[in-house]
Structure 1
Amino acid sequence: MLRITLVALGALAVGVLAGVGVYRAVVPFPNDAIARGEAFEPENAVWLYQHMSEVYPTRHVPRAEVSAPLPVIEGRLEEFTYTHDGKQQPLDALFDNMETTGLLVLHKGNIVYERYARGADAGTLFATFSAVKSITSTLVGFAIGDGLIDSVEDPLEKYIPALTGTAYEGVSVRHALQMSSGVLFDADGAAGEDTVEVLTQTMVLGNKRINEMSASYPRAHEPGTVFNYNTSETQILLWLVKEVTGKQPAKYLEEKIWRPLGMDHDAAWNLDNPGPDGMEIGGAFFNASLRDLARFGLFIEQDGIWNGEQLLPAGWVDEATRIEEPHLDYGTVFEGFDSGYGYQWWVFPDGSFRASGAYGQTIYIDRDKDLVVARTSAWPDGYVAESDLESRAAFAALADFLNQPAE
């Protein structure tokens, strides 16, 4: 169950190609649509996850004129090892044992490790896949801080009138943040037929609009009672952000995060359709450099404070990473997996939490130990349990090693 549920978009590689193949057999369409579908061939994975913003329609997110420094401390991890499966290994083993393309470790705001592989470098814009879900939920927090959303208890249709009469009517903002709307999407929790259909019909073929597709699914459960991990739920939240701000989400992201945090590089957010009316995809396909993903993680690790200024509402990070309902509790959301779920963040019993995307994309945060790890990868499957377990062992060991008392 764990493998299929944490895939997020793991079925897309096969599913998109299948969808494109069926469509090609019935209706001819432009060569660029063929290229967008065929880009997901498995042999293209390493290249594609570093060039997603060049293949599919995107919206630009400009960086700040002056980037915020991330001081570098050399040699801090020379003696570090972690233990997994009975073997003691250096941090570089994460590159040898799995398809890691970039790994950056921040401790107390300092870079203590940074390495790239498989053609990537510090300027590469990596596809985040579902890790962007945590960025989308953070934009909801900003909208609350701006007074544009009164409460997470408000029903979504208060702000998105188009949801009246749909399965999302009566669903609160909180329910959507917790993937608990009760709306049926990918019934088994995996990136199944619904995910493949949405992404094929939008960013690959440009036939449909993602907001309308996300609002079209039926109700299966009472809101707030059942966890169902799905990308459509996050899309509803990004639609909410657009409605209450009156801005393209990429613009709001620029104003609230990208410029204030002094990001190094422009980012790119993939759209459901090309052109000025294209809508950003809230649950996947945001593209950014590794250092900038780490800066976002550091911002969250610092409780939404940057350069001494409280940018996010005070207490939002605590709320967003708290387990609030039994169906979201540790070990409950997925059988055999010790995580719980907050506001689009995976939360662990030791207090650490992470943004997580298919094929190994991760922003791991341990606030108690001042640790942020940003990792990009090209795993052969959307979720590889052994790689995930080894990564978590390494990250937990990092937290302990970096916080050893001075001798």
Structure 2
Amino acid sequence: MEELFPSRRIAPAAVALPLKEPAGPLGFTYSYNGKTKNLEDFAADTRSSGLLILHGDQILHERYYMGAAPDSRFVSFSVGKSFVSTLIGIALAEGKIRSLDDRMIDYLPELKGGAYEKTTIKDVLEMSSGTEFDEEYTSPKSGIAGFLGRFDANQGGLYDFSRQFKSAHAPGARFNYASADTEILGALLAKATGARPADYMAEKLWKPMGAESEARWILDQPGDAGREVAAGGLLIRLRDYARFGYLAAHDGMVDGRQVLPKGWIALATQPQRAQVQYGKLGDGPLGYGYQWWLIPGPDRAFTGEGIYGQFLMVNPELDLVVVKTSAWTAAWDDPMALETFAMFDALSAQVRAGKR
């Protein structure tokens, strides 16, 4: 992706957060659709390009496929939304954002007259802005089709496109997954902090958490005028995705340092209002937090998800992180997604039982 689109550098830490190398093959199997499978079966059957399992600071499994390698940077797609939410939390703690109950137009007055005029920051974080934008990848007339067309053209205007939509519902009343919402959050982040999001991420998140490698953030057009594509334009190596997952699993703490505001991850990964409770989003049992998908079960697990099979799955209670990058042939593949969750559930059960 970085060969196709302009991007902005996100500088790494001077000293990386150390991760322990795998001690040997992970003897993990799971049952799915009447078959017993191992992780190589899983990777092949779900078209994985990378797979990393982290338990505490111990890498249990790390493999690359489809020509990828440890120095490959994998595009986040919508997993990047969870990073944007985290940066909003940092800006809130710093006082750059006064309250999540503030209206978006308090920071972005140009939103007056559109879907975001009456929305709060919290509404947008919860994908409950009320915008008419629709995320239907199979329709050439959908909001996301127009968004991706502008993304591919790389001539700017993603923010202006995202804010042009009108309201379909009252803010805060209905869940409607919309990449436009995250693009608006990216503009809020830039305006509130006075910094380019890539620079803010480098100084407030990437360096403090101990990222090993430079990341990149895709821009909607070349040069200084380019805006970071907040809805899903990060390019990150597998181990640094895992380090971010480790940070999320540890309430934002690394090496005794509070990198993220204490309690932010817990706040961002619980369903707060009726429309985002578990099983209320539409099809399926998931809930929604602040740009994180919430996994039901005995633990407080959550995941970032991106089209074409990108996952950053975190179980804080078990100190478990799974990073899966993929090259699905469609934007979304229900059978592959279901198997990914089944594998994660089985792995969580084994860790819970004290097995690796």
TM-score (normalised: structure 2)? 0.95
User: Separation in 2 of the partners of 1:116 and 1:293?
Assistant: 14
CA shift in 2, pair 1:384/1:206, >3 Å: closer
Give a deviation string over 1:81-133, Cα, whole Å, max 9, x none: 11111111111111221210100000012101000011001100111111101
Q: Does 1:356 align with 2:305?
A: yes
SS in 2 for 1:293: helix
Amino acid at match of 2:350: F
Aligned to 1:34: none
User: Separation in 1 of the partners of 2:289 and 2:226?
Assistant: 29
User: Separation in 2 of the partners of 1:154 and 1:191?
Assistant: 34
TM-score (normalised: structure 1)? 0.83
User: Separation in 1 of the partners of 2:131 and 2:307?
Assistant: 22
Whether the aligned pair in 1 keeps the contact of 2:52 and 2:238 (CA below 8 Å) is: yes
Aligned to 2:67: 119
Give a deviation string over 1:182-240, Cα, whole Å, max 9, x none: 01101768776222222322x32234411111111001110001111011100111111
- Runs of at least 5 residues in structure 2 that lack an aligned partner in the other structure: none
Whether the aligned pair in 1 keeps the contact of 2:76 and 2:234 (CA below 8 Å) is: yes
Whether the aligned pair in 1 keeps the contact of 2:241 and 2:312 (CA below 8 Å) is: yes
Residues 320-335 of structure 1: pairs in structure 2 closer than 5 A: 320-335=268-283
Q: Does 1:71 align with 2:11?
A: no
Residues 81-100 of structure 1: pairs in structure 2 closer than 5 A: 81-100=29-48
Q: Does 1:339 align with 2:303?
A: no
Q: Structure 1 stretches (4+) deviating beyond 6 angstroms?
A: none
- Counterpart of 1:195 (choices 122, 127, 144) is 144
Aligned pairs, number: 353
SS in 1 for 2:226: coil
Aligned to 1:175: 123
User: Separation in 2 of the partners of 1:191 and 1:366?
Assistant: 35
Aligned to 1:213: 161
Whether the aligned pair in 1 keeps the contact of 2:220 and 2:227 (CA below 8 Å) is: yes
- Counterpart of 1:366 (choices 315, 319, 343) is 315
Residues 255-404 of structure 1: pairs in structure 2 closer than 5 A: 255-335=203-283, 337-350=284-297, 351-404=300-353
- Runs of at least 5 residues in structure 1 that lack an aligned partner in the other structure: 1-51
Whether the aligned pair in 1 keeps the contact of 2:136 and 2:143 (CA below 8 Å) is: no
The offset of 1:58, in angstroms, is 0.9
Whether the aligned pair in 2 keeps the contact of 1:353 and 1:364 (CA below 8 Å) is: yes
Residues 38-49 of structure 1: pairs in structure 2 closer than 5 A: none
SS in 1 for 2:192: helix
SS in 2 for 1:353: strand
User: Separation in 1 of the partners of 2:156 and 2:51?
Assistant: 36
Give the fraction of aligned pairs with identical amino acids, expressed as a percent. 37
